[in-house]
Chain A
């Protein structure tokens, strides 16, 4: 989940409520924040602090993403051993991300994190402050979260998130105004591993440029099947009229579970 706030007060109010909700459901609570700011930030005694600066920070004092992902795996495993129902993490992204951040790195980081969160069945809220990043970068960050709250900047109109290993969901509308974000997100996902299934049930519109990004996913791994699930009839028709069935036989279409296959 992505939560965008405009002030520190708003941030703390949201953080406390979010952690209390986790405690009620038996989750072990973590807060990712620089230790020197923890007291100022508040938080109950049951909350375990994770200081990114103590996680083998890189030279620019930013934790390497893979180190953070490994830490999440460790705390999730330990929490289950201790009898918790799972983990709930409140990550203050001010202390996690480099500044200034490259937009493509931001999306890549979040998409990979989304995979880890899905794998661990964890609940993670990434808290962003409006002033920390340009509005356009934050808008693209919002696009790679399944849930968004707070006061997000201008919406880019699409969402991409991880469902299972190799399975991703895309929703919203893809056209000239945001196909660059879609392409960056899919490139980041493919760089981390193959896309085996793309669920499109919530995709209300996709332009020819968006379809081209889909073809690039298929072409990236010609030896591997890519299933596009829940595609709209018009997407399937466009795919056929572009003769992509013939060019990319490794890409198949599949209806939603329980839905009949259209002739």
Chain B
């Protein structure tokens, strides 16, 4: 059992539940405990659960911040910046707690891996942050056992549906999860559009033109087309600047999304939070991956000494 008491260090807990009733049975007391302690609270779950929670909380719901996970967390890489904004936005320091459910049954395989990476990276991003408690619900009735096993590795504290808390025996702070930067991506389809580019003047303009045309023909809306074009330009620019001066662009469609992959010979050796931390306004570079994460519905980065692949996804219903 975990001793109760005031939150001191960052606590990252996984709640294993089945069905809405068990979700509410655990999350509502978690929220009420925070309200009793006058903590700031942010809940990031889907809209149906937000409605249910607001109904259960009644007028107390006005004291709680809510955000729709299917919007904020569509790209899981946007979640750490969202939590960071919540932490930084409070005028006076006081304990914070949150509920975030970034993994659900309908997540695509690619999204699931990135959401699992997000869960691991929370430990890196907020480790050492005092008075912050995050509860991550997992609907184990709808998720596979391998997803639950991964949750045990990424959360130091586990909460059963009856409220019992325990330390995870398989927890690893920054473990080699399926989304590590050196884990290869599935191969692109053989009929993907391929274009090689280099640092010649005008090459990036051609890259943008190819992406733009492909995205328009694939039926993306205006924002989707522009978002993908900007994001690809930034990644291709990184190839030109840091990836050996050249790269390869591949484009294809899959399940209603346009996917664009940029590969080069470079190696991203920086922080595992790269692309999740906004550089200060005075900093001259480092905005490309941030923009890609903010503009695209999913970004997959895989890097090893032999090369880097960045895969950008924009969905047909891009907002």
Using CB atoms and an 8 Å cutoff, list the residues of chain A in contact with chain B. 154, 156-157, 173, 175-178, 205, 207-209, 211-212, 215, 219, 232-234, 237-238, 241-244, 247-248
Check A241/B291 contact, CB under 8 A, given A175-B204, A205-B208: yes
A211 to B287, CA, bound (A): 10
The stretch among B54-62, B140-148, B234-242, B256-264 that forms the contact with chain A is B234-242
Contact B285 A234 (CB under 8 A): no
A178 to B287, CA, bound (A): 18
Residue among A154, A176, A234 with most chain B CB within 10 A:
A176
User: Could you name 17 residue pairs across A and B whose Cβ atoms are closer than 8 Å?
Assistant: A156-B201, A157-B205, A173-B208, A176-B240, A177-B201, A205-B229, A205-B230, A207-B234, A208-B287, A212-B285, A232-B226, A233-B226, A234-B223, A234-B227, A241-B290, A242-B287, A247-B281
Using CB atoms and an 8 Å cutoff, list the residues of chain B in contact with chain A. 201-205, 208, 222-223, 226-227, 229-230, 233-234, 237, 240-241, 278, 281-282, 284-285, 287-288, 290-291, 294-295
For the complex of A and B, list the 6 residue pairs with the smallest distance between their C-beta atoms, beginning with the closest. Answer: A234-B226, A241-B294, A208-B287, A247-B281, A176-B237, A175-B204
Contact B285 A238 (CB under 8 A): no
A207 to B201, CA, bound (A): 15
Contact B290 A242 (CB under 8 A): yes
Check A237/B288 contact, CB under 8 A, given A175-B204, A248-B281: no
Contact B202 A219 (CB under 8 A): no
Residues of A near B229 (CB, < 8 A) are 205, 234
A188 to B284, CA, bound (A): 19
Residues of B near A248 (CB, < 8 A) are 281
Tell me, rounded to whole Å, the shortest Cβ–Cβ distance linking B170 to chain A.
36
Tell me, rounded to whole Å, the shortest Cβ–Cβ distance linking A51 to chain B.
38
Residues of A near B208 (CB, < 8 A) are 173, 175, 205
Q: Which residue of the partner chain, among B205, B222, B241, contacts A173 with CB atoms under 8 Å? A: B205
Contact A205 B278 (CB under 8 A): no
Tell me, rounded to whole Å, the shortest Cβ–Cβ distance linking A186 to chain B.
14
Contact A175 B237 (CB under 8 A): yes
A208 to B230, CA, bound (A): 9
Residues of A near B284 (CB, < 8 A) are 212
Tell me, rounded to whole Å, the shortest Cβ–Cβ distance linking A231 to chain B.
12
Residues of B near A178 (CB, < 8 A) are 201
Contact B230 A238 (CB under 8 A): yes
Contact A208 B288 (CB under 8 A): yes
Residues of B near A244 (CB, < 8 A) are 281
Tell me, rounded to whole Å, the shortest Cβ–Cβ distance linking B291 to chain A.
6
Nearest-neighbor residue (CB-CB) of A247 within chain B: B281
Nearest-neighbor residue (CB-CB) of B294 within chain A: A241
Given A205-B233, A238-B230, 12 additional A-B pairs, CB 8 A? A173-B205, A177-B202, A207-B234, A208-B288, A209-B285, A215-B281, A233-B222, A234-B223, A234-B227, A238-B295, A242-B287, A244-B281
Nearest-neighbor residue (CB-CB) of B222 within chain A: A233
Contact B233 A237 (CB under 8 A): no
Residues of A near B288 (CB, < 8 A) are 208
Check A176/B241 contact, CB under 8 A, given A208-B287, A241-B291, A242-B290: yes
Nearest-neighbor residue (CB-CB) of A234 within chain B: B226
Residues of B near A212 (CB, < 8 A) are 284-285, 287
Tell me, rounded to whole Å, the shortest Cβ–Cβ distance linking B310 to chain A.
15
Tell me, rounded to whole Å, the shortest Cβ–Cβ distance linking A140 to chain B.
12
Nearest-neighbor residue (CB-CB) of B282 within chain A: A219
Check A177/B204 contact, CB under 8 A, given A209-B285, A234-B230, A247-B281: yes
